[in-house]
Amino acid sequence: MILKGVNILDGDGWRKGVDIEIADGHVASISQSVAIPGAKTVFPGLVDLQVNGGDGLMLGDCQSAADIRRIMAAHRRLGTGFILPTLISDSMEVTARVIDLTAQAMADEPGLLGLHLEGPHLAVPGAHDPAKLRPMTEADLSLYLDAKARLGSLMITLAPEQVSLPQISALAEAGITVSLGHSACDYDMAIAAFDAGGRMATHLYNAMSGVHHRAPGLVGAALDRAEAFGLIADGHHVHDACLRLAARARPDALMLVSDAMAVAGTDVTRFQLNGRAIQRREGRLTLADGTLAGADTSLLDSVMYLAQVLNRPPVDTLPFAFDRPWRLLTGAPARIADGTRAQFCVSDADGITSFDNGEAIFFRPHDHSA
Q: Give the containing element (helix H, strand E) for 167.
A: helix 165-173
pLDDT reported for residue 370: 45
Taking domain 2-43+335-365, whether its CATH number is 2.30.40.10 is answered by yes
Q: What share of the chain is helix, strand, coil (3-state, %, to 5)?
A: 30, 30, 40
pLDDT of residue 368: 57
Burial per residue of 262-291, b for 16 or more beta-carbon CB atoms within 10 angstroms, e otherwise: bbbbeeeeebebbeeebebeeebbbeeeee
Least confident of 43-47, 82-86, 189-193, 355-359: 355-359
Residue 171 — φ and ψ, nearest 5°? -65, -50
Q: What is the mean pLDDT of the chain?
A: 96
pLDDT grade for 358, boundaries at 50, 70 and 90? confident
CB 260 within 8 A of CB 6: no
**Average confidence (pLDDT) over 272-293:** 94
Give pLDDT tens digits for 288-345.
999 999 999 999 999 999 999 999 999 999 999 999 999 999 999 999 999 999 999 9
Per residue in 241-268, pLDDT (tens digit) is 999 999 999 999 999 999 999 999 999 9
Spatial distance between the Cα atoms of 155 and 174, rounded to a whole number of angstroms = 11
Write down the pLDDT at residue 369.
Answer: 52
C-alpha torsion sign, points 246, 47, 368, 297: negative
Is the fold of 2-43+335-365 the same as that of 46-330?
A: no
**CATH architecture of the domain formed by 46-330:** Alpha-Beta Barrel (3.20)
Would you say 44 and 319 are in contact if contact means Cβ atoms under 8 Å apart? no
The Cα 3–Cα 41 span in angstroms is 10
Dihedral sign, Cα of residue 137, residue 142, residue 146, residue 152: positive
pLDDT at position 83 over 90: yes
Q: Is the pLDDT of residue 141 over 70?
A: yes
> What pLDDT score was predicted for residue 357?
87
Structural domain boundaries of the chain?
A: 2-43+335-365, 46-330
CB-CB contact of 330 with 340 (8 Å): no
Measured distance CA(355)–CA(224) in Å, rounded: 37
Sign of CA dihedral 99, 102, 106, 110: negative
pTM: 0.96
Percentage of the residues of the chain whose pLDDT score is greater than 90:
94
Give the Cα separation of 22 and 27 in Å (integer). 5
224-246 mean pLDDT: 98
- Active site amino acids: 259
Per-residue pLDDT reduced to its tens digit, 185-201? 999 999 999 999 999 99
DSSP-derived secondary structure letter, 263:
T
Q: Are 8 and 23 in contact (CB under 8 A)?
A: no
Overall average pLDDT of the 111-128 stretch:
98
Query: DSSP code of 324?
Result: H
